[in-house]
Amino acid sequence: MAPVNALVLTGYGTNCEQESAYAARQAGADSADIVFFSDLAAGKVRMADYNFLICPGGFLDGDDLGAAQAAALRWRHATTPDGRPILDQFKEFFESGAVILGICNGFQLLVKLGLLPAVDGKYFERQVSLSYNDSARFEDRWVHLKVNPNSPCVFTKGLDRLHIPIRHGEGKIIPKDEALLERLQSDNLIALQYADPESGEPTMEYPFNPNGSPLAIAGLTDPSGRVLGLMPHPEAYNHPTNHPAWTRGEGGTLGLALIEGGVRHLKRN
């Protein structure tokens, strides 16, 4: 089986890199290095040495200009010392068959870069954005998720329902038009949806859907299935005792299972 080497990005306001790296190791990654974006740009680290990229949560640049917008501009304009655009590394990394996971602020970054949802294979072209929660406030709670069994997403294979935490102020999906929203559904690029805790079905009801995202979208994948972006934090549920009701024997599938899906795909391919 191929070794899985995870690169966990940090810097500029990221604050979930430690638990993301820990979760990657717990999920079976052979290594998980926390790397500053500035070290990528300085040429001290190469993305080509890894095959699993995790963009963790946090508050990139204080969410100025909109969540992860400043970071996306940094990716688009930064160059290595030899003058090569850093975004070229990212494109080659993806084209090599690597898998990419964007969590919360990391999801916002992948969306702003245009890596998700890439309808019609239009990668690095922005098609959706993420904006303020309908509640107009920061939401910090646990949510139930329904997994789309028809999604090509490698991270969600074999999963059905999840219960993991969210903590964000800008988690509502904003498509460029209604036609795109329909394509997300018809192409099964909606990998995860906020669900009613009783029925397990997608819901627009607050607080089960914490941000008002249309079609209850909690996570998106791309046509290849190798990229997943989601607002909830799977890395924050890496042990049964993380669950608020663990002493009552409640909890279910760990959020770690999503990361395990990415690791399993790489080991098999």
Is a pLDDT exceeding 90 seen at residue 109?
Answer: yes
- Counted domains in the chain: 1
Question: 259 is written with which tokens?
Answer: 């990361």
- Of the residues 163, 235, 243, 260, only one is catalytic, namely 235
First to last CA, the chain: 8
DSSP letter, residue 108: H
Catalytic annotation present for 201: no
Confidence of residue 166 (pLDDT cuts 50, 70, 90): very high
Q: What is the pLDDT of residues 201-251, one digit of tens each?
A: 999 999 999 999 999 999 999 999 999 999 999 999 999 999 999 999 999
Catalytic annotation present for 265: no
Domain CATH code at residue 255: 3.40.50.880
Domain that holds residue 191: 5-268
Question: What is the reported pLDDT for 197?
Answer: 96
- Of the residues 144, 163, 168, 233, only one is catalytic, namely 233
Please name which of 56, 221, 214, 259 lies closest in space to residue 123, comparing C-alpha atoms: 221
83-100 average pLDDT score: 95
Question: What is the reported pLDDT for 44?
Answer: 96
Catalytic annotation present for 55: no
Confidence of residue 67 (pLDDT cuts 50, 70, 90): confident
Q: What is the pLDDT of residues 20-59, one digit of tens each?
A: 999 999 999 999 999 999 999 999 999 999 999 999 999 9
- Of the residues 104, 168, 243, 260, only one is catalytic, namely 104
